[in-house]
Amino acid sequence: MVTATTTERVVAGSPVGEAAARPVEEVLLELETSDAGLSAPEAEARLRRWGPNAVRSHRARGWLVLWHQLRSPLLGLLLAAALVSFFVGERSDAVIIGVIVTLSVGLGFANEYRAEKTAESLHARIRHQALVRRGGRAQQVEVTDLVPGDVVELRLGDIVPADLRLLSVTGLECSESVLTGESLPVAKDTAPVAAGTPLAELTGCALMGTVVHAGSGRGVVVATGARTEFGAIAAGLAEHQLETEFQAGLRRFSMLLVYVAGALTTAIFVINVALDKPLIDALLFSLAIAVGITPQLLPAVVSTSLAAGSRRMSRRKVLVKRLVCIEDLGDVDVLFTDKTGTLTQGRIDFMRCVPTGGLSPDEVLRWGLLCTQTTFDEGRAVGGNPLDDALWNSPAVASQRAALREWTTTGVLPFDHERRMASVVVANPSGAARLIAKGAPETVLERCVGVPKDARHALDAEFAAGNRVVAVATRAAATPAAPTPQDERDLSLAGLLVFLDPPKPDAAAALRRLAELDVTVKVVTGDNPAVAVKVCHDLGLTDVGTLTGGELDAMDDARLTSAIAHTTVFARVSPEQKARIVRLQRQTGGDVAFMGDGVNDALALHAADVGISVDTATDVAKDAADVILLEKDLGVLADGVAEGRRIFANTIKYVLMGTSSNFGNMFSAAGASLFLSFLPMLPSQILLNNLLYDTSQLAIPTDNVDEEQVRRPAHWDIAFIRRFMLCFGPVSSLFDFATFAIMLWVFHSGAAQFRTGWFVESLATQTLVIFAIRTRRSPFWRSRPSVPLTVTVLGIVALGAVLPATPLAHVLGFRLLPSGFFAALAVLVVAYLVLVEIAKRFFYRLPPTQARPRPAVGRRHLRRRAAHFSTLARLPKPRAHRVTSTRPAEKTAHPMR
């Protein structure tokens, strides 16, 4: 069977296909609406009827989380051991293994489900809004509240929130690659199309999930949620998420354990069979060894850490779309950020007009007000760009209202990031038409004739003062028709509109804190370089190199890569140039974050390792970001970086301790098998030991982290973990063998008491060693563990010590231990921790292993917009496996460094 591609698919039978084939008037009549939109009561009634405008909700599903636990290969290994035990008559062992499986699955389920609930709450807080006309008024409405019949305004950078039949357009172009795979934007109009038109040719409609590339328009909603074309496609998408570097590290670590477990299990089984021990006992013991070396609750520890971190970050008003993005933040070396709202207050105020050519300030203000795409609600500007909103909401507008009524806008050429200006044609009652252009001073002045020198001097003075400036120019228009880019010529400069956006009071402290975290901050802005440099100087960044977009275009990739290292401010750059800067920075081996909130930031957000936006950003910027800030604050971002590093540091504590201790115990078991006539520990005892030990480590996510562990980024280093395991595992085995000697030659123990003694000693040493391994400092007095970790670890050790004296002892195969054993145990534990401290100091003096080279390929270039359109589709965002080039030697960091 041949399936048509998305581009070729005919949608005539769908709501939008049917609407596209009919005139606008018929569509409005059938939907019982008008160009003024629905009334509020009618919209509420339709929302109850049609439901929310969402393709899929991000909900924590208990059955799915449980399946994640049940499909574990380790669980299959345990169940296999239980079945073998049951059929060979060791039914008590089978019951014990069953209880251990239940507890392990229960702990994993509880932690993963809690993490899922955390992610659900975070997704619920990410908002997308659309500009909608209801009852003749323009207002911002939650995208999920849109209903058929709503009239939606589309602006540059908007993500189309539903399937729309277009009512009017002004140079509207939409990027439809999410649906059709075509990279070029599609020009839109309002004319009906023939029935059976393919999806890619529905020019009279704007489809949910597509992006407004240029121009503006207005459309009526004909389909929402799963009934849209986007919904039909998204419903069939798989939930598979591409792995991050953190997840890839976990996978590589798991493979290391598979190799080690396989080698040990095979060796132990062969040794026991060769020594004529019962085949079934040897098999069960080998299976238990394989399970015992594996930190079964590592996923639970990771999910607990990430969920706890996300809750802490959400209290600081930082939302993450995927929990693993928290750890990604900790990897960041370089942060590219825009200036407005991050380094500055983001509260733009109109200050004054600077007229030229003999015009008055009032005339300059009037032309500036007329040249706008702003929509108004009860006299206040809504849905415009920040500069237009600041201009229209300023007190100076009151004196212009009467004069503005004399002019009617007859044509609009919307702003775009290539021209960096907007133009309108206005006409007065006498029929005289005038073209007004407004935008970045450099681009407007290029199109002007006879610019006086004092105007250029005034512009330079405003830039030097750190003010934002918009230039306004006019000329007579031949006709009242909508202007084209070719009409933006032979203009006469009317004057300058000056805006104030002062630096944030706390921005300097945030920059210092990021510097302490070894994160280099670079400013990428569309503003004038002099303004950006002035802001940087005010915030204490004195050694500021600058590159402009024009200079950047003149460089090849090699020259630009070299220049980026010495540049702090990139000014007057286009969206493509921002993405190029980010891409080249990533190729130097560092991990890059980009923080932006506009449509012109979307490409760079996609190109970065970690994309960061704000809740007030454009839809396309929020859609491209991994992390959403409810407040645009670099200080909060510094908290996120530190939190990511703290989570990684605590995860590595568990990994290092688990691999070294478990490897040591299993190595001891293999050695004991050579000279003992019985198994050194029963399979069920090994599994119980492992479960108790893992449970004691569930408090690791609460542990304190040393300052040096968050000062620099750290990454998975499998070679380092392997060296750590091979160094500290044998240290653990020394004390296991000492315990064997004490049990056999001092207490003359039989098999049951021998196993009991080793169980208690093994649990005590491998659990208490966390206090030494968790830090490179001297434990307790230079680096104190958290109270929950201390209480949990000591509680598990105490539980292990008293188990042989409980009624469960007989079932578990334990026997009472002599009182002298506990005195010997205390000596062994103290000696073990002292030796670990000595080994630790020796180990960290060894030269670090060279980091594995990682090709400079983007980890986030394999995106599908349909899989992370967070509010409309509520789908998880896939991320490609990040691999970057080798870090320079001075940047290589061990997990414990």
Read out DSSP for 756-781? HHHHHHHHHHHHHTHHHHT-SS-BTT
Report the amino acid identity of residue 671.
G
Q: Return the closest-CA partner of residue 312 out of 596, 127, 118, 116.
A: 118
DSSP 142-197: EGGG--TT-EEEE-TTPBP-SEEEEEEEEEEEEE-HHHH---S-EE-------TT-
pLDDT at residue 118 in the model: 59
Residue with tokens 């133009």: 423
Strands (E), 18-104: none
The DSSP symbol for 744 reads: I
Angle (deg, nearest 10), helices 557-564 and 575-586? 80
Task: Give CA–CA dist 472/464, Å, rounded.
Answer: 20
Task: Give CA–CA dist 102/96, Å, rounded.
Answer: 10
Angle (deg, nearest 10), helices 787-802 and 751-768? 170
Q: Where are the domains of the chain?
A: 15-59+126-234, 242-314+640-843, 320-344+504-630, 349-500
Would the pLDDT of 78 be above 70?
Answer: no
Strand partners, 779: 783
The DSSP symbol for 743 reads: I
Interval 525-534 mean pLDDT: 85
Would the pLDDT of 491 be above 90?
Answer: yes
Could you please state the CATH topology (level 3) that the domain comprising 15-59+126-234 is classified under. Answer: 2.70.150
879 or 15, greater pLDDT: 15
Interval 619-625 mean pLDDT: 74
Task: Give CA–CA dist 118/614, Å, rounded.
Answer: 19
Interval 556-571 mean pLDDT: 92
For residue 86, the SS3 value is helix
Please tell me the least confidently modeled range out of 185-189, 487-491, 617-621: 617-621
The CA distances from residue 378 to 138, 407, 476, in Å, are 9, 19, 32
- b/e 676-689 (16+ beta carbons within 10 angstroms → b): beebbbbbbbbbbb
Strand partners, 610: 593
Q: Band the pLDDT of 749: cuts 50, 70, 90.
A: very high
**Homologous superfamily of domain range 320-344+504-630:** HAD superfamily/HAD-like (3.40.50.1000)
Residues 6 or more apart from 859 whose CB is under 8 A from it?
Answer: 244, 245, 609, 879, 880, 881, 882, 883, 884
- Selecting among 328, 338, 487, 717, the annotated active-site residue is 338
pTM for the structure as a whole: 0.69
For residue 46, the SS3 value is helix
Joined tokens for residue 756: 């009991």
CB distance 131 to 140 below 8 Å: yes
CATH of 242-314+640-843, one of 1.20.1110.10, 3.40.50.620, 3.40.50.300, 3.40.50.920: 1.20.1110.10
Please tell me the least confidently modeled range out of 27-41, 235-249, 552-566, 696-710: 235-249
503 or 754, greater pLDDT: 754
User: pLDDT tens digits for 406-459?
Assistant: 888 888 888 877 788 999 999 988 888 999 999 999 899 999 998 988 999 999
Task: Give CA–CA dist 328/330, Å, rounded.
Answer: 5
Q: How many angstroms from the chain centroid is the CA of residue 560?
A: 28
CB distance 487 to 423 below 8 Å: yes
Q: State yes or no: is 338 an active-site residue.
A: yes
Pairing of strands 592-595, 334-337: parallel
User: pLDDT tens digits for 335-389?
Assistant: 999 887 778 876 788 999 999 878 899 999 999 999 987 766 555 656 567 788 8
Residue with tokens 């802005």: 525
Would the pLDDT of 880 be above 60?
Answer: no
Please tell me the total number of residues recorded for the chain in this structure. Answer: 897
pLDDT at residue 122 in the model: 53
For residue 498, the SS3 value is strand
CATH of 349-500, one of 1.10.357.10, 3.40.30.10, 3.40.50.1970, 3.40.1110.10: 3.40.1110.10
